[in-house]
Amino acid sequence: MTPVSQVVAAHRALAVAGHGDLVWGHAAVRDPDGAGIWTKAAGWGFEEVTEYRVVLVSPDGDVLAGTGRRHIEYPIHTGILRARPDVGAVVHTHSHAATAFAALDVPLRALDHDGVLFSEPDVPRFRGTGGLIRTAALGADVAAALGDAPAVLLPRHGLVTVGASVGQAVMHAILLDRACRTQLTAMAAGELRSWSDAAECAAKRAACWNPTQIDAGWRYLLRAAGLPEETT
């Protein structure tokens, strides 16, 4: 996939998974030549993204290629990619389940397969602001809160996930949303009594979410979005 096709695939897959929020939220991939990030232009919903609605944004926020405006919160992506050379793609959505769960300020437990990616250790939270991440300093703060984790919750805002590939970053967003929804459902029914401990989390991460399994989920999302099955 080219960077442009990766951006299209990421947004269309997120739309299929129910992560859309009208025209807000965005995914970005690292420019292979170091020019910045490829991401969707502002003003479009996830399901509306095509190759003509993708822009290249410099670390300073200049649109270097493509047509349209950049998103205000581009520093989420540039800040994380600057801090994490292992990351190739970043996703930011306003997942309803993740936002609701973050408001509880309780640990995310591994109640199912999805949760093991974000438990033991607990998924980190960025507590600097619930507002827009619109400056390089705030982007760096989000990256610091993320650390070496696959995701960070932004209380009163949404989620951010990362991956070596765009498929991995998208899958992490979808799985985190599902893990938060499972725990919200369980907590609404009563006190939590059973979840995976650290050893079981580690074993299940290797068995359930190895690269082959992540890729299988990503390929399904591409098919569901009507896109060619390609990997990155």
pLDDT (tens digit, 9 = 90+) per residue, 98-150?
999 999 999 999 999 999 999 999 999 999 999 999 999 999 999 999 999 99
pLDDT of 185 > 80? The answer is yes
Among 23, 31, 26, which residue's Cα sits nearest to residue 2? 31
49 in a structural domain: yes
Among 29, 7, 27, which residue's Cα sits nearest to residue 19? 27
Q: How high is the pLDDT of residue 31?
A: 98
Give me the domain span that covers residue 43: 3-224
Cα 202 to the center of its chain, rounded Å: 21
229 in a structural domain: no
Share of the chain above pLDDT 90, in %: 97
Q: State the pTM of this model.
A: 0.97
HEC secondary structure over the chain: CCHHHHHHHHHHHHHHCCCCECCECEEEEECCCCCCEEEECCCCCHHHCCHHHEEEECCCCCEEECCCCCCCCHHHHHHHHHHCCCCCEEEEECCHHHHHHHCCCCCCCCCCCHHHHHCCCCCCECCCCCCCCCCHHHHHHHHHHHCCCCEEEECCCEEEEEECCHHHHHHHHHHHHHHHHHHHHHHHHCCCCCCCCHHHHHHHHHHHCCHHHHHHHHHHHHHHCCCCCCCC
230 in a structural domain: no
Of 73, 120, 200, 229, which is the active-site residue? 73
Average pLDDT over residues 193-197: 98
Averaged confidence pLDDT in the chain: 97
pLDDT of 231 > 60? The answer is no
Q: How high is the pLDDT of residue 232?
A: 47
73 is catalytic: yes
- The CATH number covering residue 184 comes to 3.40.225.10
Would you place residue 192 in the very low, low, confident or very high pLDDT band (cuts 50, 70, 90)?
A: very high
pLDDT of 214 > 50? The answer is yes
18 in a structural domain: yes
Average pLDDT over residues 201-224: 97
Q: How many domains does the chain fold into?
A: 1
pLDDT digits (tens, 9 = 90+) for 15-45: 999 999 999 999 999 999 999 999 999 999 9
Would you place residue 230 in the very low, low, confident or very high pLDDT band (cuts 50, 70, 90)?
A: low
